[in-house]
């Protein structure tokens, strides 16, 4: 049902682009001189990270707009975006960890970016838990919007402080910059573009899903009232 | 008028606590117990290894602090106490600041008992720059309690309150934690005191940020 609301053209293009992206990632782009085929993780890792930050940015903006306009559309958008952002953050952490094991020989290190990403993950798990655990829909929206804004304000501080903290203890492992050949750059940029469109697709899906869920809740409430009324009449 | 309301609301919390003493006794006992458990874990450590322990003090204080917040929040629910305070003809931010103030006072009292226990049980020396340690302790407690009080209000309608509050609180408090543990380690052994400017800025910044921001948002938050 939800899929019908998408223009078919968009879905077809997205599907083809994903196949092309996989071809570029796994076959067309060359292995890296030192890392070999491990470098292919990067195309998914960086693209997921782009989506995650985009998603949380949208959540923060939608939260602010919601508090100003009080329109339920912005609340659903914020919620949907946070949910998708969390999935992509999980992918970032998992893919980063696998890459770290292959290249740095450790699954985890207290690198500032890694640490901040992990904290980000916890923050938005909290955001979603908060949202689903408040029964009153209006209140849930208001409270989540406030937390969404506070979390977004605090994120740069968290990142800075983690960086200072590592600055005090010199880290043994540092990420070396890549000097990528054009074929890798093209592959990376293409993957990022495909992931962004995939995010937009998911965002629309989840928002519509949320809308249906709300409608269903309303119906359920009406039925409950009706039954209650009938019982009273008897 | 503003300060008077603040004083009245804070002294109400203090009066309740001084009569029942439940928060103080339970939090001190619990935190002391954590210290003891910790003591078992590090009993085999050498004096050199124990050197890095002071920063761990804050893990215990954060956990005890969260319990204190939870307990204060519960108290506000009895007989609709919070609703009563919100219905009073006063600025609503007073209600928030009074809670922060009383929570901070309780927590500092608890820390004053906990820190000596920590030093005795875990064989730690007295901090070499005690004044700076106390300043850091108070600033961190103020920041943590401001943030914590705000988040307990955020999560007050949640039916998973007990678990949601720490999940929201601890990640947001990480800069505060890093700052206070770094400062504690430095002032405990009087080493590297000159490299702490950024961390002091975090402690002060957190206290200011989470005193000002919730004050502005509290009205929207408690709107019924």
Domains held by chain B: number: 1
pLDDT band at A171 (very low <50, low <70, confident <90, very high): very low
* In the predicted structure, residue A177 carries a pLDDT above the cut 60: no
Q: Using CA atoms, how far apart are residues B179 and B199, in angstroms rounded to an integer?
A: 5
Does the beta-carbon distance from A123 to B171 stay under 8 Å? yes
Q: Say if A89 falls within a structural domain.
A: yes
Q: Say if A232 falls within a structural domain.
A: no
- Classify residue A9 by burial, with Cβ atoms within 10 Å: 0-12, 13-18, 19+: exposed
Q: Using CA atoms, how far apart are residues B147 and B212, in angstroms rounded to an integer?
A: 11
Q: Say if A225 falls within a structural domain.
A: no
CA distance B192 to chain A (A): 10
Cβ-based contacts under 8 A for chains A and B: 85
pLDDT tens per residue, range A60-70:
999 999 999 98
pLDDT band at A176 (very low <50, low <70, confident <90, very high): low
Q: Does residue B144 or residue B25 have the better pLDDT?
A: B144
Residue A97 domain boundaries = 41-170+198-204
* In the predicted structure, residue A1 carries a pLDDT above the cut 70: no
pLDDT tens per residue, range A191-203:
999 999 999 999 9
pLDDT band at A39 (very low <50, low <70, confident <90, very high): confident
pLDDT band at B4 (very low <50, low <70, confident <90, very high): confident
Q: Does residue A175 or residue A133 have the better pLDDT?
A: A133
Q: Using CA atoms, how far apart are residues B200 and B184, in angstroms rounded to an integer?
A: 11
pLDDT band at A170 (very low <50, low <70, confident <90, very high): very low
A78: nearest Cα among A5, A147, A135: A147
Q: Nearest CB to A133: which of B164, B171, B205?
A: B164
Q: Say if A15 falls within a structural domain.
A: no
B224 is written with which tokens? Answer: 């019924």
* In the predicted structure, residue A174 carries a pLDDT above the cut 60: no
Residue B193 domain boundaries = 2-222
pLDDT-above-90 percentage for chain A: 38
Domains held by chain A: number: 1
* In the predicted structure, residue A96 carries a pLDDT above the cut 90: no
**A63 contacts A148 by C-beta, under 8 angstroms:** yes
Residue of B nearest to A152 (CA): B172
Contacts of A135 in chain B (CB under 8 A): 157, 159
The pLDDT score that the predictor gives to residue A224 is 92
pLDDT band at A137 (very low <50, low <70, confident <90, very high): confident
pLDDT-above-70 percentage for chain A: 91
Q: Say if A4 falls within a structural domain.
A: no
- Which residues of A, range 74-133, sit inside 8 Å of B by Cβ? 119, 122-123, 125-127, 129-130, 133
* In the predicted structure, residue B130 carries a pLDDT above the cut 90: no
Q: Using CA atoms, how far apart are residues B53 and A84, in angstroms rounded to an integer?
A: 40
* In the predicted structure, residue A173 carries a pLDDT above the cut 50: no
Under DSSP, is residue B167 helix (H, G, I), strand (E, B) or coil? Answer: helix
Is ipTM over 0.90?
A: no
Following CA atoms B134, B152, A132, A197 in sequence, which dihedral angle do they give, to the nearest 10 degrees?
-50
Residue A32 DSSP symbol: B
**Phi and psi torsions of A211, nearest 5°:** -60, -45
The mean pLDDT of B46-72, rounded to a whole number, is 84
Averaged pLDDT of chain B: 86
pLDDT tens per residue, range B193-209:
777 888 898 899 989 98
Q: How far is CA A231 from CA A219, A223, A224, in A?
A: 18, 12, 11
pLDDT-above-70 percentage for chain B: 99
CA distance B159 to chain A (A): 5
**A117 contacts A164 by C-beta, under 8 angstroms:** no
B175 is written with which tokens? Answer: 């800069």
pLDDT band at A172 (very low <50, low <70, confident <90, very high): very low
B187: nearest Cα among B115, B117, B120, B121: B115
Interface test with B, best of A164, A166, A169 (most B CBs within 10 A): A164
Residue bearing tokens 């700076």 = B132
Contacts of B171 in chain A (CB under 8 A): 119, 122-123, 126, 158
- Dihedral over Cα of B216, B217, B218, B224: its sign: positive
The pLDDT score that the predictor gives to residue A116 is 85
pLDDT tens per residue, range B134-176:
999 999 999 999 999 999 988 888 888 889 999 999 999 999 9
């Amino acid at each position: 049902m939800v899929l019908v609301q998408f223009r078919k053209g968009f879905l077809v293009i997205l599907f083809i682009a994903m196949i092309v992206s996989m071809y570029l990632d796994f076959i067309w782009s060359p292995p890296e001189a030192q890392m070999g085929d491990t470098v292919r993780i990067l195309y998914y890792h960086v693209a997921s990270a782009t989506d995650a930050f985009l998603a949380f940015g949208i959540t923060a903006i939608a939260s602010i707009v919601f508090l100003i306009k009080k329109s339920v559309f912005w609340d659903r958008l914020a919620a949907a975006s946070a949910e998708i952002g969390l999935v992509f953050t999980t992918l970032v952490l998992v893919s980063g960890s696998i890459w770290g094991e292959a290249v740095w020989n450790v699954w985890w290190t207290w690198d500032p970016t890694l640490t901040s990403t992990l904290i980000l993950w916890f923050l938005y798990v909290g955001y979603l838990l908060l949202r689903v655990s408040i029964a009153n829909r209006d209140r849930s929206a208001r409270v989540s919007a406030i937390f969404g804004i506070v979390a977004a304000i605090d994120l740069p501080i968290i990142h800075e402080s983690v960086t200072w903290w590592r600055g005090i203890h010199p880290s043994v492992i540092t990420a070396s910059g890549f000097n990528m050949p054009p074929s890798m750059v093209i592959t990376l940029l293409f993957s990022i573009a495909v992931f962004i469109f995939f995010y937009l697709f998911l965002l629309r899906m989840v928002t519509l899903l949320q809308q249906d869920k709300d409608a269903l809740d309303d119906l359920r409430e009406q039925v409950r009232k009706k039954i209650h009324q009938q019982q009273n009449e008897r | 008028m503003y300060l008077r309301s603040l004083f009245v609301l804070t002294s109400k919390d203090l009066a309740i606590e001084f009569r029942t003493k439940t928060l103080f006794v339970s939090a001190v006992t619990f935190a002391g117990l954590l210290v003891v458990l910790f003591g078992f874990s590090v009993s085999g450590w050498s004096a050199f290894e124990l050197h890095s322990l002071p920063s761990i003090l804050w893990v215990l204080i954060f956990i005890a602090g969260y319990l204190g917040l939870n307990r204060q929040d519960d108290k506000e629910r009895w007989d609709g106490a919070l609703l009563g305070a919100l219905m009073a003809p006063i600025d609503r931010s007073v209600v928030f600041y009074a809670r922060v103030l009383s929570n901070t006072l309780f927590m500092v009292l608890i820390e004053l008992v906990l820190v000596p226990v920590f030093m005795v049980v875990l064989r730690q020396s007295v901090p070499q720059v005690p004044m700076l340690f106390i300043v850091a302790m108070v600033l961190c407690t103020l920041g943590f309690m401001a943030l914590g009080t705000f988040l307990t209000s955020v999560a007050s309608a949640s039916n998973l309150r007990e678990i949601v509050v720490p999940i929201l609180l601890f990640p947001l408090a990480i800069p505060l934690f890093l700052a206070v543990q770094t400062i504690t380690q430095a002032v405990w052994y009087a080493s590297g005191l000159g490299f702490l400017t950024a961390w002091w800025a975090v402690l002060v910044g957190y206290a200011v940020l989470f005193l000002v921001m919730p004050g502005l948002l509290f009205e929207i938050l408690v709107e019924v």
